[in-house]
Amino acid sequence: MINVSKPNLPDLEKYVKYLKGIWDRNWLTNNGPLVNELELRLKEYLEVPHLLFLGNGTIALQIAIKALELKGEVITTPFSYVATTSSLVWENCKPVFVDIDMQSFNIDPAKIESAITENTTGILATHVFGNPCDIDAIEEIARKHKLKVIYDAAHCFGTKYKGKSVFNYGDISTTSFHATKLFHSVEGGAVFTSSSELLKKMSYLRNFGHNGPEDFEGAGINGKNSEFHAAMGLANLDIVDDILASRKEQSLQYNQILSGLNVKTVNIESGSDFNYAYYPVLFDNEEALLKAIQVLNGHNIMPRRYFYPSLNTLKYLERQDVPISEDISKRVLCLPLYYGLSKEEIDFISRLLLRAQNN
């Protein structure tokens, strides 16, 4: 079976070496040496001033919202994974959906200002599929209206914008190191900020508010991650350059073979270096998409309707009108893309899609 994604597993001997160190130290969690090593190496690799390694990408969003003290209405995108919206709801904020750009699938900055009210406190925008938002436009709006900005950069490991890691933008950026991501620590995530004050605040929030064993700075939660997860992250970090290069090569192969397929691909934001985290294709209509899925599934190939459905249709929210997101979500499909996917498998997938279109 060929799934849409497949977790990369690093060299087992290298991982076991890290495990032996954990056994020797008997230090399993609570900001251990491997967590600290991973944070330092990630800062160096990504060229970011501050980050915290966390339990997952969702807790990263929740901590970011809490650290910035967002309340009331938060402008966000309806085209993202459900965690983007559910984190706002969980923190008692009201998601206000702004429709997306038809070419990039990211939130459309031209539609943000009309959604701002006296109750708006922030913007939570997703860099969809690792493709950066129009960051300059968003941050200009945020400065004008004195709003905080969080970027959900769950897909963005290795993405750069204007020569810098995309994690350097916004008041806080968040990411996921889940097993399905191109860089992973099995489960994991991180928050990034240029503010040392925000970093300190989030460090308390991720560890129950502890400021020493018997003092608590404020209310916090358990957002920490373990030495075992940090070990996986360290082992994978050694080969992440190969992973990024492989995904680019695979995507270019798809581009070449699928040039005759009647689909569109995402428009990459100008001035950015894309990480090829996903390979989304946009069909002319939902019927063509469903036909393609049926053909691929019949050969044990499992693409994913990502993102579907549009988040404004969630049953626990008041319905908001975002027609472009609803339309795109019905027509977009992510094809298999992962480290180790062979040229022959990409060729097979592509030719099945061409066959589905022509039958």
pLDDT in tens, 165-208: 999 999 999 999 999 999 999 999 999 999 999 999 999 999 99
pLDDT at 331 over 90: yes
pTM: 0.96
- Chain centre to alpha carbon of residue 148: 19
pLDDT at 358 over 90: no
Coil, strand or helix at 55? coil
Q: Tell me the C-alpha to C-alpha distance, in Å, between residue 244 and each of 32, 275, 325, 332.
A: 28, 6, 28, 23
pLDDT of residue 211: 85
Q: Yes or no: say if 154 and 277 are a contact pair by the CB < 8 Å rule.
A: no
**Ranges of H-type helices in 125-223:** 135-145, 196-205
Q: Yes or no: say if 296 and 346 are a contact pair by the CB < 8 Å rule.
A: no
DSSP states of 66-98: HHTT--SEEEE-SSS-HHHHHHHHHTTPEEEE-
| Block residue for tokens 């192969």 | 253
CATH 3.40.640.10 domain span(s) along the chain = 2-237
Phi, psi values for residue 264, rounded to 5°: -115, 160
| Block residue for tokens 């027509």 | 331
Which residue out of 66, 160, 181, 201 is catalytically annotated? 181
pLDDT at 359 over 90: no
Architecture of domain 240-358: Alpha-Beta Complex (3.90)
Q: Yes or no: say if 55 and 223 are a contact pair by the CB < 8 Å rule.
A: yes
What token pair was written down for 314? Answer: 């969630």
CA 224 to CA 203: how far, in whole Å?
9
Average pLDDT, the chain: 97
Amino acid occupying residue 31: N
Q: Yes or no: say if 55 and 188 are a contact pair by the CB < 8 Å rule.
A: yes
CATH 3.90.1150.10 domain span(s) along the chain = 240-358
- Is residue 330 annotated as part of the catalytic site, yes or no? no
Amino acid occupying residue 328: I
Name the percent of the chain lying above pLDDT 90: 94
Strands (E) across 113-248 are located at 120-126, 148-152, 160-161, 164-165, 172-176, 189-192
CATH (residue range 2-237) = 3.40.640.10
**In the structure, what pLDDT confidence band is assigned to residue 290 with cuts at 50, 70 and 90?**
very high
